[in-house]
Amino acid sequence: MVVCTLGDLLLDVIVRLDSRLAPGDDAAASTRLAPGGQAANVAAWAADLGARARIVAVQADDDPGAMLRRELEARGVELAGPRGPRTGIVVSLVQPEGDRTMASDRGSAPELHEDDLEAKWLECDALHLSGYSLMRAPIAGAAVRAATLAREYGAGVSVDLSSWTHITRFGDEMREALARIRPDVVFGNEREWEAVGELETEVCVVKRGPRGIRVGRHEHPAIATDVVDSTGAGDALAAGFIVGGPQLALATAARCVARVGAMP
């Protein structure tokens, strides 16, 4: 199975707090750098699950960009896409109980143009689009074009809604892109589904954290595990669902939250 993703390739700065932050005070933490971005995370987990995985994204020509390419290739992910000047950075603040809050600088990632795409990059069985790629031009046009090209090869198309706060700000642009793409599967948590409203799709996957997922009208309970870091859990879940359905999705998400970082 060939899984292709389109979206952001970013540097994650993961700050795991030993105690909750207090305004104006200091807190001990452990910090690590890792490759990230929703599309990159899904591709890495798909490769870990045995799929052939490829990401289409702007690859920055700076030092962090070189590091990210090495890390993705080491995980068995093929990289495709144009070069850009600056790697985006996401700071993920992880509370002691595992909840996380992110601050994102997407760098050159949104500058992917539809004219940058090569049809052979979209030769796949499944195309997964980050919701962030549907909220800004020119990458939104690239996402729509990628869906068209992938379907010419018989691929199914999935989308993750990504962020309810971004949907609130960029919802009109996102809904327009979704109407053109007509995804077969859409992933989102409850707040994201509430923010986006009615969508035309065959399969709705509602991510419910420790309560598991709802696929259409069917509920699937989460797999019990010790939560260390929830960063990337939804991306791991999406990869598992694409490769093997709901149970593999839940098992992959459980593996993700039991460790630090968004990738296997």
* Residues of the domain holding 213: 2-9+37-87+95-257
Per-residue confidence at 78, pLDDT binned at 50, 70, 90? very high
Looking at residue 230, what is its pLDDT?
81
Residue 126 resides in a domain:
yes
Residue 190 resides in a domain:
yes
CATH number, domain with residue 122: 3.40.1190.20
Residue 63 resides in a domain:
yes
Cα 136 to chain centroid distance, Å, stands at 16
Q: What is the pLDDT of residues 120-130, one digit of tens each?
A: 999 999 999 99
C-alpha–C-alpha distance, residues 210 and 222, integer Å: 6
Q: What is the DSSP letter of 110?
A: G
pLDDT above 90 for 184: yes
Q: What average pLDDT does range 232-257 have in this prediction?
A: 96
Residue 17 resides in a domain:
no
Q: Please tell me the total count of domains within the chain.
A: 1
Tokens describing residue 114:
């539809």
Residue 239 resides in a domain:
yes
Give which of 29, 36, 1, 35 is closest to 15, Cα–Cα. 29
Looking at residue 72, what is its pLDDT?
96
The DSSP secondary structure of 146-205, one letter per residue, reads HHHHHHHTT-EEEEE---HHHHHHHHHHHHHHHHHH--SEEEEEHHHHHHH-----SEEE
Is the pTM for the entire model greater than 0.85?
yes
Residue 21 resides in a domain:
no
The DSSP secondary structure of 65-100, one letter per residue, reads HHHHHHHHHHTTEEEES-EES--EEEEEEE-TTS-E
Top-confidence residue, 5 or 261? 5
Top-confidence residue, 151 or 226? 151
Looking at residue 28, what is its pLDDT?
86
C-alpha–C-alpha distance, residues 44 and 38, integer Å: 10
Residue 192 resides in a domain:
yes
Residue 154 resides in a domain:
yes
pLDDT above 90 for 30: no
Residue 178 · residue 204 · CB < 8 Å: no
Residue 237 · residue 253 · CB < 8 Å: yes
C-alpha–C-alpha distance, residues 177 and 198, integer Å: 14
C-alpha–C-alpha distance, residues 210 and 190, integer Å: 13
